[in-house]
A and B are shown apart, each in its own frame.
Chain A
């Protein structure tokens, strides 16, 4: 296991969501019922109506409102999502960790959404988080590192499906943030008075490639 990355030092995950959403979310927790290992049935919100509608065909675009649907993940699942997200993208000297950017909350927004693609992903992610949670949350740092390192090599079809989808979501959620832009080298989305085209440095790099390709 010498190749395994160090276990991420993710502390208790604190949601990056606003108080109103957080209150609704506590309601969900209250209604969740454990019916067996790794299976949780989600009931209606306590003290509030469960919202399952989408944002509609004419949402406000300039200042998007928070996605209207109720969130379904419980704290243990968010915690597992944080551990896994930070295994995929931990902080380094120049970039923040996935959990510090609220990626677990985004996973919650995604699996709670009423649209077909997200509804399809919901059991994959939720079952995977439940299964991984059992292995990770109370494990020793050494056991946790082993369990995480084993994920990408797993031959279990459910684990493979979960890992692929979860990692895809984490990468997408991370690199669509300003911190992600900086890390990947996206320097656009700024107003300019003209488009100067590629720099001499870029053109020189291209020329070197043309030589290699015989073009």
Chain B
């Protein structure tokens, strides 16, 4: 492997790494892709149609499988064996979800594929908070078009022209899955409130698409998809990249530093083989980091040279800074009006069929927070799980036929409302190298610092208030204790698994780590092509934008390569 003459080494095989590999290999570049996790093949490893009764403990979540037994995540979750991280004393909680598998988090992600909008790229210009990106929506729009057509995204609908909620051009999206009973139901409440409900954009093939299978409208996407009907790097990006003959993949390769030559260019990377513990160095004409915001920052910060004593590209202390996540909130309601509906198959396309984009752009001042949230709503008659007794609303007396009848009556009558909102970057949220703690192989680990701002906690309080209002309009009752204090209702840092920032793009080497194409200011042949380059954290889930930006960056890099500029 070390003797091969690679044009590029890509670190990471998820959304950013997978897309970079896809485009660069198709452009004729020889690529070595290094993945920290094991090889993973969704075609043979996905538990499609398995029932909970077939799984240990009926599939409930455990420390070994924190999102449940069938979740696609391999060797990971909030903790990865042998690979700790720390949270600074005095920090608010921060948790970090990592898998160790080819394709990374694209294997289990929620498949919500929303475009950032024009305002999302210029938040500072809008309200003086946060920072503007060096690019506009129009710069990225063609790449969103291409990405949607490549990965397969459902949700086509007549253009609505909603503020900061881009309509995809005709031909980009496949048909929207029809609203299910609970979706038709909640729509009435939002209609009464004057808030539009529109088709979700889901990375699921709902129609005919060349080279792809159509969704079976059954079995959860979070398990992965054996027929490749949803988007996973492992089914959509890596196979065609391999087919070019230009891609070499090495798994179990945990990269910990960029190797530099005397001239100040990257000459390769060093990694430890997770299975053998052996260290290896590999070389290439260029290096792309796409290990995920945390790991990408860790690799840079652990790369210390005489020119970069505080970590590669960190001369101005920008690496690890402006770490962001989404604001998460949630309330579940139970609705007598949904009780006793005739049995219906609500399995659907795996992600929501409709959703509520943020509607309060024009009245942020009076609302008391600067940025908004969209609402993701789950419900219907899902495959029963261990929590079924929760349907009984605290009743502990029914047995026999009365119990059977009550469960049948209430099955499918609950709806969960989740807010996913924008976070404004702040100086208290960042990661750095822990001076003491090292992983199993002696590599220093990340220490996280976290603090939500008032804009986020006020937004969380508003979301909870909105959910309670909707539940009330629909004649329902919230389940369990509902926290109305935004500081308590808000998710933990990292909990939405949308951590981005840490190596943002910008206008120059003082305000950022990379340029608008992910090329680092400090090292001309070092690129970053994951969520680390993001400047703001809009409410829209980041995966589609990571893909589109990676494609745009890889295209620019391929041009540079052809010009001999690397």
- Find out whether the CB atom of A172 lies under 8 angstroms from the CB atom of B45: no
Q: When chains A and B are docked, how far (Å) is the Cα of A191 from the Cα of B49?
A: 9
**Chain A interface size, under 10 / 10 to 19 / 20 to 34 / 35 or more:** 35 or more
- Find out whether the CB atom of B57 lies under 8 angstroms from the CB atom of A186: no
Residues of A bordering B, CB below 8 Å: 5, 54-59, 61-62, 64, 66-67, 87-90, 92, 95, 106, 109-110, 113, 115-118, 152-153, 163-164, 167-169, 171-173, 175-178, 180-181, 183-199, 201-203, 205-206, 209-210, 212-213, 215
Which of A55, A88, A187, A209 sits near B345, CB closer than 8 Å?
A187
- Find out whether the CB atom of B403 lies under 8 angstroms from the CB atom of A205: no
Most chain B CB atoms below 10 A, which of A171, A180, A201:
A171
Interface of A, helix, strand, loop or mixed by DSSP: loop
Chain A residue nearest to B187 in the complex (CB): A215
- Find out whether the CB atom of B53 lies under 8 angstroms from the CB atom of A177: yes
Residues of B within 8 A of A189 (CB): 49, 51, 218-219, 347, 383
Query: If the complex has contacts A62-B46, A193-B214, are A215 and B53 also in contact, measured as CB distance less than 8 A?
Result: no
Query: If the complex has contacts A59-B65, A88-B403, are A184 and B217 also in contact, measured as CB distance less than 8 A?
Result: no
B399 within 8 A of A: yes
Q: When chains A and B are docked, how far (Å) is the Cα of A195 from the Cα of B204?
A: 13
A-B contact count (CB 8 A): 215
B531 within 8 A of A: no
Chain A residue nearest to B55 in the complex (CB): A64
- Find out whether the CB atom of B180 lies under 8 angstroms from the CB atom of A197: yes
Rounded to whole Å, the gap between the CB of B99 and the closest CB of chain A is 10
Chain B residue nearest to A207 in the complex (CB): B184
Chain B residue nearest to A171 in the complex (CB): B389
Chain A residue nearest to B390 in the complex (CB): A168
- Find out whether the CB atom of A175 lies under 8 angstroms from the CB atom of B346: no
Q: Which of B83-118 contact A (CB under 8 A)?
A: none
Rounded to whole Å, the gap between the CB of B54 and the closest CB of chain A is 6
Q: When chains A and B are docked, how far (Å) is the Cα of A203 from the Cα of B54?
A: 34
- Find out whether the CB atom of A61 lies under 8 angstroms from the CB atom of B223: yes
Q: Number of B interface residues, CB 8 Å?
A: 80
- Find out whether the CB atom of A153 lies under 8 angstroms from the CB atom of B397: yes
Residues of A within 8 A of B216 (CB): 191-192
B3 within 8 A of A: no
7 more A-B residue pairs beyond the given contacts A88-B403, A171-B389, with a C-beta to C-beta distance below 8 A:
A62-B50, A183-B408, A187-B345, A195-B178, A203-B181, A209-B185, A210-B188
Rounded to whole Å, the gap between the CB of A72 and the closest CB of chain B is 15
Which of A57, A89, A195 sits near B64, CB closer than 8 Å?
A57
Query: If the complex has contacts A62-B45, A189-B218, are A176 and B385 also in contact, measured as CB distance less than 8 A?
Result: yes
Q: When chains A and B are docked, how far (Å) is the Cα of A185 from the Cα of B70?
A: 23
Considering the complex of A and B, which 5 residue pairs feature the smallest CB-CB distances, nearest first? A197-B178, A172-B386, A67-B56, A209-B337, A215-B188
Q: When chains A and B are docked, how far (Å) is the Cα of A65 from the Cα of B474?
A: 44
- Find out whether the CB atom of A5 lies under 8 angstroms from the CB atom of B63: no
B197 within 8 A of A: no
